[in-house]
Each structure stands twice: as C-alpha cells, then as structure tokens.
Amino acid sequence: MNPALDSAALSHLLTMAGLEVEALDPVAADFSGVVVGQVLSVAPHPDADRLRVCQVEAGTGNPLQIVCGAPNVAEGVRVPCALIGASLPGFEIRKAKLRGIESQGMLCSARELGLTEEADGLLLLPDDAPVGKNIRDYLHLDDKLYTLKLTPNRSDCLSVVGVAREVAALTGSPLSLPRIVPATVTGSLARRVQVTAKQGCPRYCGRVISQLNRAARTPAWMIERLSRSGLRSISPVVDITNYVLLELGQPLHAFDLGKLAGDIQVRMAAAGETLTLLNDQRATLEADMLVIADDNGVQALAGIMGGAATAVDENTSEIFLEAAYFNPDAIAGRARRLGLSTDSSHRFERGVDYAATRNALERATALILEICGGAAGAITEVSGDLPQRAPVVLRSARASKVLGVTLSDARVEELLGRLSLNFQREGAVYRVTPPSYRFDLNIEEDLIEELARLYDYDNIVAQAPVARLSMLPQPEHQRGVDALRTLLTARDYQEVITYSFVDAAWEADFAPGAQPVTLKNPIASQMGVMRSTLLGGLMDVLRNNLNRRQDRVRIFESGRCYLPAVEGFDQPQRLAGLVYGDAMSEQWGSAARNVDFFDVKADIEALYSPQRARFEKSVHPALHPGQCAEIWLDDVHAGWLGSLHPRLSQQYDLATAPVLFELSLQTLLGRMLPKHGEISRFQSARRDLAVIVDESIPVQTLIDAMYAARVEGIAEIALFDVYRGKGIDSDKKSLAFRVLLQDTQKTFTDTEVDAVMAIFTDLLKQKFNAQLRS
C-alpha cells in the first residue's frame, strides 16, 4: 500500500480519523554527502600513534586518502564515508591535514551521523553494502517515525497491519498484507497442551521447532525495524516474536523446549505460587492470575511475561512457540498489581484478534525457519468458546440525522466496504457483523462514528442549531450558588476546590458516625473513599497554608458529599467554611485577636438573611463540646457550627482551634420574597425586660416563646445583656431583652405598653420560672 500522500498529510489524516499522531520525527538527523565506502588499506600515521592513514574506495573513481582514529578501522570493512563538502550534524567536511597528512574526507560513526548518542567506533556495514551508494538511501534514513496516541478502544491499531488497514480504508488505497503460508511439517516433536482455564484462554496454539542453528543472527533489516519501534535486538527467536507482535499485533512467546517438563498446562495460579520473570523480578501470584505451567510448576505469566527458568538463550536448539488468545478480563489489572507494563499485557488487556492466532504462529514459524533454519512440528491447538460478534443494526436515516449530512445507501455501502465490514441490507437497514479484530464496534452509534471518520469530519459542515428559544423561569424565591459565593468573598473568604476522593482517616476524624463509600480502584492510597463531609478537605487546605507560613485562613467550599443509600448513593450538596487565625488582617486601628465562634456565627446569619436561622447548643464528634451549635431553619436541620475539638487540634498540631461550619446548600438557596409594608409615622415605644432564669435555658428559647405569643404591635425582641456574678445564684443568669412596639395607626400609650410587658412577664414565669430582676 502506498497512498498518494506526503508524511504531513498522512499524519493529519490519521489524527482526524481518531488515531492521534503525537509525534512525527525523522529517523535520522539531516545530513548529506555521505556514501558507502570500503577501506582498501590501513597504514600507521607517521606522527601519531592513534591515527591511521586509510585508502578508501567511495565510488568517486580514485581511492581517497582519509586519516582515521577509530579503533575498529580495518582493511576490507565497509563504513559510511563523508566526502569533501558533506554536511554532517553540526559541521561540514573540508579538505584538511591531520599531523601533516592530507585527509580527503571522514569515516563516520553512528554518533557522527546523528543516529545514536554514543558510539565505540565506526558504523560497520554489511559486506554486501554497495560501494558509493548514498548512505541515506542504503539505510532508509529518509523514513519518518509516527508516534500514535491511541485510545484504549482501538486495540486493533496496535500493529503495523492494523494501522495499514486504517490507512487503506481512509484513502481507498489497496491493502497489501503479509502473505502467510502454513509451514511444511518436517519435525516429529510435539507437546501436549492442557487448558483447564478455558474461560480465560479460549484458544491456545503451540508447536515445537527443532534443529535451530545456534549461530544464526538476526538480519540487519529486522534489527533496524525493531530499533525504530523502540525495541533492542536480543536473539533471533526473541526478535522474531517481537517483530510479529509489532507486525500483526499478536503477542507470542518461545520456551526453551529442553527446559520444559511434561505437558503444557494453561491454568489459574494457586495463591502464593512464585515465578521469577524474564526481568529477574520474583512475583508472588494470586489465585485470579492466568499462568502457563509444566510438571515443574509455573513457567510464564500468561499474556504478561515469560519466566526466566525456560527462557531462550544462545544454547537453545529446540523451542516450543506459543500463540494464544487470552480473554481481556483474565489479564486486565494483573500486570499493574506486580508493577509491570509489557507490550503483551497492553494488547491482551484491550483485546487481540482471536481469529488470527494461528496465522501469527505460522508467520513467526516462517521467519524462524528462514533465519534460524530448523524443522517445524505440527501445531497443537486447543479451542473453547470464542467471542461471538453479534450483528449490529445500522439505519442509514439515523446515520444521516446524527451526522447532519445526507448519506445515500450507495455511499453507506461504500464506506462499510472500505472498512471490510460484512453486512446484509434489508431496505434502509444494514445488519453489520464486526470483524474479530474490532472489539469497539458494539452498538449503532459505533458504526455511525466509523462512517463519520471515513466521510471525513472536515467534510461535515457545521450548522447552527435550530431550536425555539425561550426564557427559563427564574423564581424570585430562589437564588444561585454564585450569590452565596459573592456574599462570602465580600466577607473576606476565599473559595477552594478539593477532591471528592479523600483519606479514610479524615472520615474517621470528622464524620466518625458515617459509613464512607469505599472506592474499588482508588487512584492513590490516601484517596480511598468518597467524602461524606467537606471538613476534611478544608482542614487539608489549612495545613498546606500553615506549612507555607500563611497564618490567617478564611476559606469555603461548595460541593457534593456522598452517602450510601438503600438504592445507590445520596449526593447532598453542602457549603462549608473554615476560619483560622486573626479576626482581621494585621492593622493599627484595633487590637489583634483570634477569630471566635460568634464571628463566624455572624457570617452564617448573613448567609441566611433575611430569614432567621436558629442556633441550638449541641454535640458533634469533631467540634468542641462547649463551642458547638446545631443550625435550624424553621423545622429543617441546616447544619453545624463550632470550634474544632481540642483532640483534633492537638492531632493536627494547630496552635489555636479553627472555627468550622457545614450547611445544607438547599436551605441556603431559598429566600424570603420582599413584601410591601406601610412605614409607621408614629414613634416606637421601648421597654427593657430583665429576668433571672436557670443557666441551662437557651436564650433563643425565651425569644421564640415571646414571638409565639403573637402580641400585636411587636416590632422587635432582642437580647442586649447577659449577667452572671454578684447577686445572682451560680446556677442562674440574668438576661435583659429590648422590646420595641410600634403601630402604623397610633402611638402606644404607657398603659398599653405595660399590658404587653405584663403578658411577657407572666409568660416567662409560667414557662421558664423566670423571675424579674430588681
């Protein structure tokens, strides 16, 4: 396949089709004037022990005299030769004299050509390298490296063949795949295979290849391709399995047959079994891990990595070559548990073409026989219940509606054909059967996306939406969260945003009665549960600020908390705040003091205004027993306010206790509508009422009782003095209330005011045993 596109155009085409090209790099630095040269003779330099005077044939007609200091220069070798005028990375080649001897060029190492960062000597070329040929052409140095950033659903593109299929579909170019011919069976050796974990391994293929040539070497073309794909050459057999992995996307593994004992067993590991892997890591296996074993025990971690005990080495002459389809559910997550990430696990976790397993084995066999010689035995195959690809219904009318373009039936059929998708047409409905390598095609929307990719997103014209526009209702009795944010920032708070994933220890500290929602797969050990309170995140922000010498902190956060419910989860929205340090920023106008409970209480009252929130003394496990209040709005529980519990202040190493609050956001979003009321032209009447009551009686209870009496003309009842001390019993307190009376039709007389005060006096005496203070 050779599409009529340059590298940049192909890169754009792939990216727009969903295969993002993260990088497009040349395989070599830019240089020119370098050809294949052959060293004809080597003589010592008369004035330098480390230099040699070489006669080099470079296809110029006459041999060139070149002075060289490389340790591996020798008669007969073929190496890159930079001619006079050549441009190399960072410098140019000119005619020069080295210690009095003229040099007509330079013999080059891989580092001097920009191919590697380090080199021990000249870059030695094969003996059949054509002398005088441009080295860029000979080593294919004008190629480009595409780095694709694939999404997890496109496992079919984790191979050269998979990307080639995409390019063929996108460009309409003919697809030319590697020709795979089953190997002629000339060997008699075989190994029996037993698959007990059939759900994890629905297909397993293997064959013995014997009489391998131990002196065989990986050909240069394969080493080059592996290197450009980020893999180093190890040995011919291992290189071939890696090459087929990159070419076809099918991981393979070769066992040294002489190191295997008995039958090949594909089974689940026994908990506690151990395996020394190829990277010398000793892994302790778990019962849900799929393994390849023999009579001696586990020899490989299926789909992840082979074991060191049966690894192929330079003495291997017989191998057992395996190719299998492992269910993604049996592989996913196992490598990460062991701290591994391999090319095999990366593919098996996402899905490998289960129909190409045998072909991949045949492809690898052919390469091994070609490079290493040997005799191939018959393939042993064990198959179970392979995945079934159910037909997916595609409606052309639906596709046109979703994409916003009209696709004719002929166009739909053409695009499906370019994707090599088998389908049956029933009118305007297509029943499409996804191929075995496309695990991402499951619903109609997946097929519509495929049509869009091939049609080209650039060809889909953006259209403005056509819809009726109407004003959304904005009830006056509701306000948005932004209004609360504005109010708090005006009162010197700063908003923060913290993670919904929190440390389980925070939940134990700030919400010990709650049962936090535990995450099955946390992204970090300290983020293992969902928060049931916002206080833990605020405390973490406080500590971060204190560690950076910010000793005055006023912060708030609005967000969801997460609580288990009978069905699913409750996700209440809350608003929480934390205040620490000085009540005001450092200044000269007033004495410095720490913020206290009542400062924050005023902020909360401002949030609820003009509604009246009620504060009742209560107990919260994270708050100070004597500085804690439960907040109510009418009969609805609204939240908590209080100073941090001394135990937690000591635990978090705080010099003073911060004041915290957490409120139900729903109770804050409602507000009272303004009502018209006549402004009185008459003077108000004030009377003070001082009573002595038990210390345990809350002030708010007395105020609520007086308002509940519904005495006409009452404009305000407010506490203005609390007294404890001389003349008052230790279990009593004196409370002084201001009572304002005002009417729109008249001025209250002293007699009327006295009657009102008598009502309140009798009320407080009967309900609370209150005594007038003389």
Residue-by-residue DSSP string for 556-600: EEEEE--EE-SSSEE--EEEEEEEESBSS-S-SSS---B--HHHH
151 with 350: CB under 8 angstroms? no
Name 509's Cβ contacts closer than 8 Å, sequence gap at least 6: 536, 622, 648, 651
Both tokens of 59, joined, read: 């296809």
Distance CA 320, CA 379 (A): 10
* 3-class state of residue 191 by DSSP: coil
CA distance 285 to 283: 6
Q: Which amino acid is at 707?
A: Y
Angle 431-432-438 from CA coordinates, rounded to 5°: 155
Q: How far apart are CA 471 and CA 453, in angstroms?
A: 37
CB proximity list for 215: less than 8 A, separation 6 or greater: none
Of 33, 84, 87, 77, the residue nearest 57 (C-alpha): 77
Binding site, annotated residues: 440, 446, 449-450
Q: 490: left (phi > 0), else alpha (psi -120 to 50), else beta?
A: alpha
Q: Quick one: DSSP state of residue 516?
A: P
536 touches 506 (CB < 8 A): yes
Residue with tokens 């997103």: 457
Q: Which long-range contacts (CB under 8 A, 24 or more apart) does 403-408 make?
A: 403/448, 403/451, 403/452, 403/455, 403/460, 404/460, 404/461, 404/463, 405/455, 405/459, 405/460, 405/461, 407/451, 407/455
Q: Residues annotated as binding site for Mg(2+)? A: 440, 446, 449-450
Cα Rg of the chain (Å, integer): 41
- Cα 649 to chain center, whole Å? 35
Distance CA 133, CA 91 (A): 22
Q: What angle do CA 413, 416, 421 make, to 5 degrees?
A: 125
List the structure tokens of 192: 């029996």
